[in-house]
Amino acid sequence: MAEREVRLADLAALIGGEVVGRGDALVRRVASLRAARSGDLAFFSDGRYRAELQATHASAVIVGLPERDATALPRIVCADPYLLFARAARLFHVDAPLVAGIHPTALVGPGAEIAPDAAVGPHCVVGDGARIGPGSALGPACVLGAGVSIGGGSRLHARVTIYAQCEIGPRAVLHSGVVIGADGFGYALDEGSWLKIPQTGRVRVGADVEIGANTTVDRGALDDTVIGDGVKLDNQIQIGHNVAIGEHTAIAGCVGIAGSTRIGRHCMIGGAAMIGGHLAIADRVVIAGGTVVTKSIDKPGTYVSVIPATPSREWRRTVALLRNLERMAERLRSLERRDSGREREK
């Protein structure tokens, strides 16, 4: 990461927002309110951190419109502080330049096509007929199966494995331990034992996708598993075979998505949510963390099925009531029938 020093007014011209206070204040890094020091740019978007805003040693901050006067520090005022902070962070964070070439310890199969300005790191394996686009980089010990295609400008961190015939679009980022194209979980019961169903589909990953560490995406049984353009996947997610995820959907860590489910565009799925198989999720659906989805969702909106943590005694009472709901509902129906009969008698 290289540091660059920028006047606050010049930074605002690049990322947006209105400068209040000294536009000539110099910033060269981004940091949290608590850790910031001279030369740092921080952001404030949550009232719970107001004390940290007052105590910060940052040279400047990004604040929301309602917080325009919440600090005397030089500041950029905007409608979405988190978004502008993200833009600023991208400007300050510069990756090390790519060193093109194939490491001597890498194994490259016959017929593989590697762009002259691509980088293949130590102990990588590039299968027969695989293609690596211009400006792409493979970290140490990555494995590409036969016929794999990697789009231009993509970055695979150490130990990424991509099974045969799968496709990764341009400008993708795959973090360490990602596995793309392992067999889907497909078996048929044959007289008491499990008969494996060959998984002959592929995985197709679109452009500008980022996939977190140790996330796995299974190949399709017949059709392909598809990850749309701009999708962002966190760490340790399991995506089953024949799943399709629409463009620009974001999924947090430890989510499990069972086979043949289709998730729409611009969805947000919270951590540890579980989504059953053969379901359809509409565009712009928000699923809260820990939610269990067992039925299709056909309308945009926010969906929650988890009970927040409560003291154990209260939780036991709640569970006892839940277990008795059916009996209580039947008693209620019985009372309603009796009252209805009395009304008719009158």
Catalytic residue set: 241
> How far does Cα 170 stand from its chain's mean position?
17
What is the rounded CA–CA span in Å between residue 74 and residue 57? 12
Pairing type for strands 292-293 and 274-275 reads parallel
What is the rounded CA–CA span in Å between residue 145 and residue 136? 17
Q: What's the start-to-end Cα distance of the chain, in Å?
A: 85
